[in-house]
Structure 1
Amino acid sequence: MPEAATQTHTVPLPDGAIELQWSAVTHRGRRREVNQDAVLAEYPLFVVADGMGGHIGGEIASASAVDRLRTVAEKGDVTPKTIERALARAVTDIASHPETTDEGTGTTVTGVYLDLSGDEPTWVTLNIGDSRVYLFRDGGLAQVTTDHSVVQELISAGRLTPEEAENHPYGNVITRAVGPSDGVSPDYVRLEVVDGDRFVICSDGLTKELTDYGILHFLLQHDDPTEAAADMLEAALENGGRDNITIIVLNAHRTGAADDAASSPIGD
């Protein structure tokens, strides 16, 4: 079992602070020879990338996206514009390996960052592909991102139920990715920062093996991000571990401010 440790960071605010705790874990699973997932968990940006395409191509794609986004996180200037510039550079990086990548090579990019540019701090989720961001708030769990996948389009059109989608033959086919043949604009959702917020950012290797109720169970069972992520990973492996599995658990405790919750989409 990969080792992980809970990291912490305190964000000072004019009226208090946001205390963050997080932990990240990744595993190749029980059936894959290599791990094509990549993970970035560095304040203020928390991202999971799930690569696809050939034996090495998927690794190159996910690593390229995460490496470019890490530079953005380290500079501390995380915005939709800087994210999309970084992903455009990642596309160029991927295409620079023609011996191992092609038009079928790409990666999901899904995550959340803390935006302090406005009058009030906000979370912003970003998503390309079918990795997911979940938000635990007020005792319940909600999927914030919407999958870019064939089965999600069928569900949205009313042609497939979520239960039928679980075993659909096109379950692994995504409709948007970061790669040589795809665009690089994520979907964004902005959320107010509320005391007690907890996020789970994960590749579909987790959600193939663990239901939303299962994820909620482990969050309720463990306050510590490392313990929650480790138990989710163990359960996913016990349930088959058919794919690479990557999980970030991020906790936020806000002090000294009202914590009314609200959310709304944001544009480019």
Structure 2
Amino acid sequence: MPFAFHYAARSDVGMVRSENQDSGYAGPRLLAMADGMGGHAGGDIASSTVIGALVDLDGEALGSSEASSALLQRITAANTQLAEISKAEPALQGMGTTLIAILRSHNKLVLAHIGDSRAYLARDGKLTQITKDHSFVQSLVDEGRISEEEAIGHPQRSLVTRVLTGQHDDEPDITVREARIGDRYLIASDGLTDYVAGDTIAEMVLAGQPPGATADRLVELALKAGAPDNVTIVIGDVVDITKVTAPPTQPQIVGAAATRSKGTRPIPVTPAAKAAALSREAAGESDDDGHDVTLAEEGPTSGPGRWLRRLALLGLVLIVLGGGAYAAYTWSQHQYFVAAHQGDVAIYQGVSQDLGPIKLSHVKSQSDVLVADLPDFYRAKVEDSVSTDTLQAAQALVSQLRTEALRCAASRATGGACDDTGASSSSTTTPSTTTTTTAPTTAPTPSATTKR
């Protein structure tokens, strides 16, 4: 029976972020999603670089025995490329990305997973998570220290223990599954899973709507929930190609991968993606023109009436701007982040950006952790600043960094190298699947990376 994916990919920058660091891809043989991290300087490059290294697989008819090794080889090559980019551009050191990729080979699906993005399988009226987060909070759940319910709102849920960062031991979990007609696969960034309840996600995925409509609805729900992070959805339905009237043939590329202009591996942007970009540009121009026309037509064209209207409008604008600025400043003083201060790790109250000459943050407390004592990866994160939800979360992060500094100092004292990464391996099995795991078996360590 000839199998194919009926697919869709969607991405939105979210309610707070100014840039999209996610990248998504959906095609006839490949579904992939990467959630980049490393601040505005590198998250988008990391995610789009990895996705760009995989897209050629969508055009190759690989045998079942070849698909696993081919996917792993491409991911390894992409990870090496991240190391080379970081070395060539010091400003990009500390960038990384999660990855979930599903490569179809006949009736087999090879799934690669690293990080805390999630993949789900909808089968027989039930939605099941088929990946396990590589995160600090998941390790607490595995050890029985917290429950699944406590993990949902845990302040450290953004700490990941395994991602692609260019380190030689960044290896994903690889599993092989059997595809079934009627299966639906959902890949999502934490911009969806952290802000929309699992039951609600299941209801939408199982509603029977086409992939595109389902993805649109999930993004809409995440935005309504106030998701501050990027939201990216990739959906693939396993279908009998002989029974689908018009299966899609053009891949869909979304997020940073669709707009990235820098990097060493170009991504083929589809006509649909180009049209979307042109449409946004045209819409922006149209909006500006429309506002100009509206203002030009309002009120009398000459005389005192026109000036009174302008003065009234100016006064209204100043009032709105003043009220908005006060509200924004008040909100900023309820935020916290961890960054360097005079060589030490410190907790700041406020936000890391300033508004012209107005300072929007100040040092809340300074720790005894020297930034220079941290492993390179964590030092880069602190120098770039790490946002947290609460003061308690910031304090917990400082404690985690103190542990890393002590571990690094102990390693150096014995003549050893200071390893930047921690790792834990996991494999997930679900009913009616055949799973083969080739992930590393390194035991988890306390080290973790905070996603931004």
Global fold match (TM > 0.5): yes
Map of 1:106 onto structure 2: 96
Structure 1 residue 130, shift from structure 2 partner: 0.6
Equivalent AA in structure 1 for residue 36 of structure 2:
G
Counterpart mapping for 1:120-135 below 5 A: 121-135=107-121
2:228 — aligned with what? Answer: 242
Which secondary structure state, in structure 2, belongs to the residue aligned with residue 237 of structure 1? helix
CA deviations on 1:27-64 (whole Å, 9 max, x unpaired) are 11011111000112122110100000121211111011
Deviation for aligned residue 1:214: 1.2
**2:200 matched residue in structure 1:** 214
What's the counterpart of residue 17 of structure 1?
2
Contact kept, 8 Å, 2:54 with 2:71, in 1: the verdict is: yes
| Aligned partner of 1:27 among 3, 6, 12 | 12
Quickly say closer, same or farther: Cα 1:49–1:255, change in 2 above 3 A: closer
Match of 2:432 in 1: 262
Q: Deviations over 1:219-241 (max 9, x none)?
A: 23342111100000000000012
The code of the aligned residue for 2:97 comes to T
Q: Which has the higher contact order (CA 8 A, sep 6+)?
A: 1
Residues 84-95 of structure 1 aligned to structure 2 (within 5 Å):
84-95=72-83
Deviates more, 1:45-54 or 1:88-97: 88-97
TM (norm. structure 1) is 0.85
User: What secondary structure does 2:434 align onto?
Assistant: strand
Asked whether 1:162 is paired with 2:153, we answer: no
Higher strand residue share: 1
- Structure showing greater radius of gyration is 2
Secondary structure in 2 matching 1:79: helix
Contact 1:54 1:100 in 2 (8 A): no
> For 1:187 and 1:136, how far apart are their aligned partners in 2?
21
Moved more, 146-155 or 66-75: 66-75
* 2:102 counterpart letter in structure 1: V
Q: CA deviation at 1:255?
A: 8.2
For residues 77 and 26 of structure 2, the distance between their equivalents in structure 1, rounded to whole angstroms, comes to 20
Alignment partner of 1:79 out of 64, 67, 88: 67
Aligned equivalents of 2:153, 2:168: Cα separation in 1: 26
Residue 253 of structure 2: aligned partner:
none
| Contact 1:94–1:101, Cα closer than 8 Å, also in 2 | no
Task: Return the alpha-carbon distance in structure 2 between the equivalents of residues 129 and 122 of structure 1.
Answer: 23
Structure 1 unaligned regions, length at least 5? 1-15
Letter in 2 for 1:89: A
Residue 41 of structure 1, aligned match among 26, 39, 43: 26
**Aligned-partner residue type, residue 218 of structure 1:** M
Q: Which has the higher helix share?
A: 2
Query: Structure 2: any 5+ residue segments left out of the alignment?
Result: 243-430, 439-452
Confirm whether residue 146 of structure 1 aligns to residue 132 of structure 2. Answer: yes
In the alignment, residue 17 of structure 2 is paired with which amino acid?
Answer: R
1:11 corresponds to: none
Matches of 1:140 and 1:192, distance apart in 2: 17
1:250 Cα deviation from its structure 2 partner: 1.1
Distance 1:233 1:82 in 2: 32
Instruction: Letter of the 1:110 partner, please give it.
Output: I
